[in-house]
Amino acid sequence: MCDHSKNIYKPYLATIAELRDETSDIRSLRLVFQDEEVREKFTFRAGQFAEYSAFGAGESTFCIASSPTRQGYIECCFRAVGRVTDALRSLEVGDTVGVRGPYGNSFPIEEFYGKNLVFVAGGIALPPLRTVIWNCLDLRDKFGDITIVYGARTEADLVYKHELAEWEARSDVRLVKTVDPGGNGPTWDGKVGFVPTVLEEAAPAAANTVALVCGPPIMIKFTLPVLEKLGFADDAIYTTLENRMKCGLGKCGRCNVGNVYVCKDGPVFTARQVKAMPQEF
């Protein structure tokens, strides 16, 4: 999308149209490109990422969290943990951020047509799947059953709480939400337990089903064997690797896992691909 005959490091400018605090330190931004032409031409696929900048602080890498079916804006979601994310969080509606992208590969949504989908996410890793979830919900009749297993440490750590409620209310989505033991308040109506355990209990059928998993490395580590046990083949499990990146363009050299450049060859991989990589992610 960026004009690559030019400076590949130069971002588009976008205005913060809306912002929402998901948790005490996680914020979502809705961004609208300032240039009309970019606004019209910018397209992306679910799973792709971008480099977002707060001028004066630098750039950070996040997935595009909104669905490609919703045009005119993109959304991102991040936790304020460093210089850039602190700066992004300090911005207000109407302020300008830089956006470079979209970069990387994407989920092969078309290949999922006619299949059941199971989304498994932990903590702040819901955004990379949320783009796919809405993409699929917006094309609801092309898919079979949709199950979402989402967990966080505590109730307060769940992101997109209003959307969780929306999904819960829909009859065409099965949402299983959970918090880690001890993370539940008095009014919690979801499960209590770690994501892999809750997934095993929920036991979605593996036949004609694709699983999409995203979460901290430890969650992925324990989720893959559960999916395997449930009968999911490695080719039917997708994940997205969120390695540290700077350029997003296959140049700066830090996101590699073995000879795989996550920014260009990924970030979306099947479990089969992940297992073939050196275990260094």
Partner 1 sequence: MTNTAQKLDTIPLVDSGYWSSVTEAIRTEAERLLSSGEVTAVIGYRAGRRSGTALPAIATSPEQARELVFSPGCVNNLALYLTKAKKDVAKKGKVAIVAKGCDLKALAGLMGESQLKREELVIIGVACAGVYGASADRSLPLSEETIARKCRECTVHAPEGVDLTAGSVPALPQLSPEEAEELARLEAMTPRERWAFWTEHFSRCVRCMACRQVCPFCYCEQCYCDRNRPQGVETSPRPAGNTAWHIVRGMHLAGRCAGCAECERACPMDIPLNLLNRKMAQELKELYGHEAGIAPKEKGPLAEYREDDDQSFIK
Partner 2 sequence: MPKMITEQNLRALIDLLVKEGSRVVGPKAAGTMTLYEPLAAGEELVLTELPRRSAKEAFFPLCETILTYAKGEEGVQVNDIDPARFPETVLVAVRPCDAAAPGILDAVFSWDYDDQFYQERRKKTAIIGLACTKADDACFCTAVGLSPAETQGSDLFLTPLSGGGFRVEAVTEKGEKLLARYSQLFGEAGSAQPLPPAEPGGEKLELARIKAWLDANFESPLWQEIADRCAGCGACAFLCPACHCFDINDEGTEAKGARRKSWDACGFAKFTNHASGHNPRDAQNKRYRNRLMHKFKYYDDKFGKHLCTGCGRCVRACPVGIDIKAVLDEINSK
Residues making contact with partner 2 (CB under 8 A): 4-11, 13, 15, 34, 53, 55-60, 79, 81-82, 85, 87, 96, 98, 216-217, 242-244, 246-247, 249-259, 261, 264, 278, 280-281
- Assess 235 for contact with partner 1 (CB under 8 A): no
**Residue 24, Cβ neighbours under 10 Å: how many?**
10
Nearer to partner 2, 81 or 203 (CB): 81
Measured between alpha carbons, how far is 193 from 16 in angstroms, rounded to an integer? Answer: 36
Nearer to partner 2, 81 or 207 (CB): 81
Nearer to partner 2, 108 or 250 (CB): 250
Nearer to partner 2, 200 or 242 (CB): 242
Nearer to partner 2, 171 or 279 (CB): 279
Residue 257 binding target from partner 1, partner 2, none, CB below 5 to 8 Å by type: partner 2
Instruction: Name the E strands within 70-163.
Output: 74-79, 96-103, 116-122, 146-152
Q: How far is the CB of 153 from partner 1 (least distance, A)?
A: 22
Q: How far is the CB of 83 from partner 1 (least distance, A)?
A: 4
Q: How far is CA 103 from CA 35, 89, 192, in A?
A: 19, 23, 36
What is the identity of the amino acid at 55?
A: F
Residue 86 binding target from partner 1, partner 2, none, CB below 5 to 8 Å by type: partner 1
Measured between alpha carbons, how far is 270 from 234 in angstroms, rounded to an integer? Answer: 7
Q: How far is the CB of 84 from partner 1 (least distance, A)?
A: 8
Q: Which of 271, 152, 149 shows the shortest CA–CA distance to 216?
A: 152
Q: Which of 11, 81, 64 shows the shortest CA–CA distance to 268?
A: 64
Residue 250 binding target from partner 1, partner 2, none, CB below 5 to 8 Å by type: partner 2
Residue 249 binding target from partner 1, partner 2, none, CB below 5 to 8 Å by type: partner 2
Residue 278 binding target from partner 2, partner 1, none, CB below 5 to 8 Å by type: partner 2
Cα distance between the two ends of the chain: 28
Q: Are 153 and 123 in contact (CB under 8 A)?
A: yes
Measured between alpha carbons, how far is 259 from 91 in angstroms, rounded to an integer? Answer: 37
Q: How far is the CB of 25 from partner 1 (least distance, A)?
A: 13
Residues 67-106 that bind partner 1 (CB under 8 A): 82-83, 86
Measured between alpha carbons, how far is 88 from 261 in angstroms, rounded to an integer? Answer: 27
Q: Are 143 and 154 in contact (CB under 8 A)?
A: no
Q: How far is the CB of 258 from partner 1 (least distance, A)?
A: 23
**Helix, strand or coil, per DSSP, at residue 140:** helix
**Helix, strand or coil, per DSSP, at residue 134:** helix
Q: How far is the CB of 85 from partner 1 (least distance, A)?
A: 9
Q: Give the binding site for partner 1 (CB under 8 A).
A: 82-83, 86
